[in-house]
Amino acid sequence: MAKKLFIPGPVDVSPEVAAKMSEPMISHRSKDLYDLHAHLIESLKRLMYTQNHVITFTSSSTGVWEAAVRNCVQKKVLCVDNGAFASRWFDVAVACGKEADKLEIPWGSTVKPEQLDAALSKGGYDSVTLVHNETSTAAMANLQSLAPVFKSHGVTSLVDCVSSLAGVKIEVDKLGLDVCLSGTQKALAVAPGMAFASVSPKALEISKTQKGKGYYFDFIVHMKYWEKDHQTPATPSIPHMRSLDYQLTKILDVEGAENRFKRHHEMANTARSWAKKHFELFTEEWCASDTVTCVKNTRNADLSALGKELSAKGYQFSNGYGKLKGQAFRIAHMGDRKPEELATYLAAIDDVLKL
Ligand SMILES: *Cc1c(COP(=O)(O)O)cnc(C)c1O
C-alpha cells in the first residue's frame, strides 16, 4: 500500500506531475528538448527571483554540493556545520581536496550574523557553505541577516536550499547569493533524481580558472552547451525535466508562489503549536523551519512503535535523523501537502499516543 509520506523528502508527488514522467520519449538533440529546457530555466529563475542563469543536473542535490565546491572554492572554504547535512557538505569539500574549516553550531540552532562575521574575520576564506534549512534538525537560517556578512567579507556564498526552495521565499538576487542549489524531491514535490543551481556572474568567473573540476559538473561546460540553442552537455533526465517544468507552472501560475509560501507557514504554525502542546520543539524557536518541524521526545514515547502504528494507518513516519533517533522526530509539511492532511496526521499521532 502506498503510504502518505510525512518524511522530509522524498515527499508525495501528485498523479498529474508524476504522469509527466511517462510521456513518449524524444531526442535529447531536438528542438522540443531545447524548448523544454529553456522554459524550465525561465520558470526556475522566476521561482528563485533571479536573473542569474540556472543550471540543471541529472543527479541528486549531493552532486551539486560537489559542483559548487569544485567550481567555486579557490583556496579555503568555511563550512557552517549545524546538523547532518551541513556536516556532510564539509565532508564533500574535503573529499574534493579543498582546505575546509567547520564553524560548529549546536544542533537545533543555526548561525547568527555575528558568529559568521567573527569566523570570517579570522581571514583566509574565499567561500562559505551554508545549509539554509537543515533538514535533520529543522533549523532555518535567516538569509536576510547573513547576506550582508557574505558581502562585507567578499566571500563566494554557496547556499543549499534543498528543503526550503518552493516552500519559503528565497530572493537570490536581493540576497546576492552566488550559488543557490536545490533538488526536486523536497518542497518542489517532484520525484528524486534531478537538481539545479543558480550561478552568479562571479561564480562563473571563478569557475573559468579553477583546476580539477572534472567534466560532468563543470559550470562552464554547461554554459557552453546552453549558449548553443539551449542544449545540455549529456543526455538529461527528460522525464524529470518534463515533470519539474509542469510542476513549476502549477506552482507559479496556478497556486501562486506567495500562496504556496503562506500555506507552508500556516502548516508550520500548526505543527509547532501541536509540538509545544504535547512535547517541546527540538529546534530553537527563532530559527524553526517552515517546511519541517523537529519535535523533542520529552514524553519518552517509543518512536519505533509509533512509526509502526502510523504505518498501519497508512503514514510514513520520520524518526529523528542519525544521532537524534529515538530522542526526536520530524514532521514534514512541505510540497503539495494540504493543511487538512497535516491535521489528520497529527490527530493520528494523538490517537496512537493517547494525547
Ligand atoms: C535531502 C537534502 C540533501 C541531499 O539531497 P539528495 O537528494 O539526497 O542528494 C542536501 N541538503 C539538504 C538540506 C537536504 O535536505
CA of 334 to the centre of ligand 1 (A): 14
Q: Is the pLDDT confidence value at 80 over 90? A: yes
CA of 30 to the centre of ligand 1 (A): 31
**pTM strictly above 0.95:** yes
CA of 184 to the centre of ligand 1 (A): 10
- Could you give the 3-state DSSP secondary structure of residue 102? strand
Tens digits of residue pLDDT in 202-224? 999 999 999 999 999 999 999 99
Tens digits of residue pLDDT in 279-325? 999 999 999 999 999 999 999 999 999 999 999 999 999 999 999 99
DSSP state of 325: B
The residue to mutate among 163, 165, 217, 334, having the most atoms of ligand 1 within 8 angstroms of its beta carbon, is 163
The residue to mutate among 56, 58, 59, 60, having the most atoms of ligand 1 within 8 angstroms of its beta carbon, is 60
Dihedrals phi, psi of 144, to nearest 5 degrees: -60, -40
Q: Ligand 1: residues whose CB is within 6 Å?
A: 9, 60-62, 85, 131, 133, 135, 160, 162-163, 183, 186, 192
Among 299, 352, 295, smallest CA distance to 328 is for 295
For 119-140, what is the mean pLDDT? Answer: 97
- Could you give the 3-state DSSP secondary structure of residue 103? strand
Domains of the chain and CATH, by start: 4-10+257-353 (3.90.1150.10), 16-253 (3.40.640.10)
- Three cell numbers, residue 19: 504522469
Helical residues (DSSP H) of the chain, grouped into ranges: 15-19, 31-48, 61-72, 84-95, 113-121, 143-153, 172-175, 201-209, 219-227, 238-249, 257-278, 303-312, 339-353
Q: Is the dihedral of CA 299, 302, 304, 306 positive or negative?
A: negative
Average confidence score pLDDT of the chain:
98
| Ligand 1 atom at minimum distance from 185 CA | 7
| Ligand 1 atom at minimum distance from 183 CA | 7
Distance CA 161, CA 179 (A): 10
122: enclosing H helix or E strand: none
pLDDT tier at 123, thresholds 50, 70, 90: confident
Residue 297 CA from chain centroid, whole number: 25
In the chain, the percentage of residues whose pLDDT exceeds 70 is 100
Among 354, 333, 338, 330, smallest CA distance to 281 is for 330
Distance CA 272, CA 207 (A): 42
Dihedrals phi, psi of 67, to nearest 5 degrees: -60, -45
Dihedrals phi, psi of 187, to nearest 5 degrees: -65, -15
Residues 336, 12: contact at Cβ < 8 Å? yes
pLDDT at 1: 74
pLDDT tier at 30, thresholds 50, 70, 90: very high
Give the 3-state DSSP-derived string for 268-322, with helices as H, strands as E and coil as C.
Answer: HHHHHHHHHHHCEECCCHHHECCCEEEEECCCCCCHHHHHHHHHHCCEECEECCH
